[in-house]
A and B are shown apart, each in its own frame.
Chain A
Amino acid sequence: MLLDVRGETCPYPMKKAIEAMERLPIGEVLEVLVDHPPAIDTIRMAANRYGFRMDVEPAGSGEWRIYLRRDTMR
């Protein structure tokens, strides 16, 4: 599932990521595209709270791709 929140600033990227995490079917990966650097931290906070594991990789200048997976270890 892909969520594109480019152009959004805090707290919207995190809010929308939470909504998407709640809807995410079991076994699927949520891919979030952001261009607001602080959102990496706020989405990480949300991922921790909702039990998701998070990976980040740069996706061009000023953009990042975030992968959220349900953390099965907890």
Chain B
Amino acid sequence: MNNHSTSDLLHAFLDGELEQSHEQPLFNELASSGELRNEMRELLAMRSAVQQDIEAFTPPLAATSNIFSTLGFTLPAATAGAVAAGEALTASSAATTVAAASWWSKFWLPSATALIGAGVTFWLLNWGYNSNLNAMAATQSAEIQKIRSEAAAQLADQANSFRNQLQNVEPKVVIQTQKVYVPKVEYRYIDKPSVADNSMKQNVNKSVLNTPIEESASIFAAHDRQPLYAQFSSGGNSIFPKQTSTYIASPISQDNALVESHDALTGEILEREFLPQDEPYYQRWSAKVGGVVSNWSSAPSTSLTAPTGTFKDINGQLMFFLSKDFSVGRKLGQEAFPLHYEGTISDRKIIRDQYSIVWWYGLSAQYQVSSLSFWGGVQPYITGFGGFSELGTHVRGEVGVQYPLSSLLSISAGYEVSGLFYEFQNVGFNTVKTGFNSGIIIHF
């Protein structure tokens, strides 16, 4: 067997064209000929290099666009996105028409989602969850108003009667009132018998007293058989009569309960206003502008490779509160994703150029855990997002904390994960990014 014929056999074998009957002679020759083995290695190296010629296997996006526009077809969605962002299309009218059509093909779904979201929000505002809350709030407000009115009328009669009495005695006395914020104090006191009554035993009791907030240290209980009083001072002047008893009581807890208006001269309660336990519900919105500095952290689900690096994005969020803690809304932003993928799948060379920046949009829901508020008002929150981008489905998740600077303004910081899922030439791609986010929130 001469060298030329064995090379022929080798070439045919590597091309999958060698008849089975010729394989064994080739293998025998390969076993004995170092030169033939070298030739095989060189041919394989050549083939391997050709398979890396990704550029040759990648039609330009502009060419794809031109073909589809010439035939009057809509550009496939994934290709359209890449064309719009990556390659400058020639400014032909046909290309412009295709770009417009592809633009609509990308955005009709997010637009429809936006309309549906707006409709749902409008319904919630007018007939849904919100209307029930508003009804509850209205009932509660009316109840409070009724208590206030009745108490005010009753106290006004008493005050007028008292003024009349005082003015009858001394016409020049000027009635002053002082509004005192009165917390409800639960306290423990020692029920000690008086000196004159040695037969009584000493007991430790617990009771509740409404006492002014200025009274912070000692609360004195009266004699066991007398009404309980709290001794306090305001502006250096004793308001309530000083008690003869010196038994010390220790506060256990306190809860803001009511506001009393006292006559500064007599200490009489002129007005008592109960504070509601729960705040009534009012419509509340928040708008947030934030950004993420993130790290591109995973490759696509395929065997393709992608560049790594640090990316940034910016986004805005408008939320409507369905309750004190739970809010829903819409979120819009743009984000950087890898510029291209390269690799081979099932002997197909794939190169995927795409946006460096994609826009995304969708619905967002957030729960802020007010009950876990700590460090002077810092509240944890968790946010979920589902929507669409110019390339495909987009989801985001976020956990963090927010801190109110005022009733109108808060700041937030957290950790965020985002995922983008799309298809190109029947190959599914996904990217997942993680990063730290921060934002400024306006409440209104």
Query: A and B: real partners?
Result: no
Listed in ascending order, the chain B residues whose CB lies under 8 Å from chain A are none
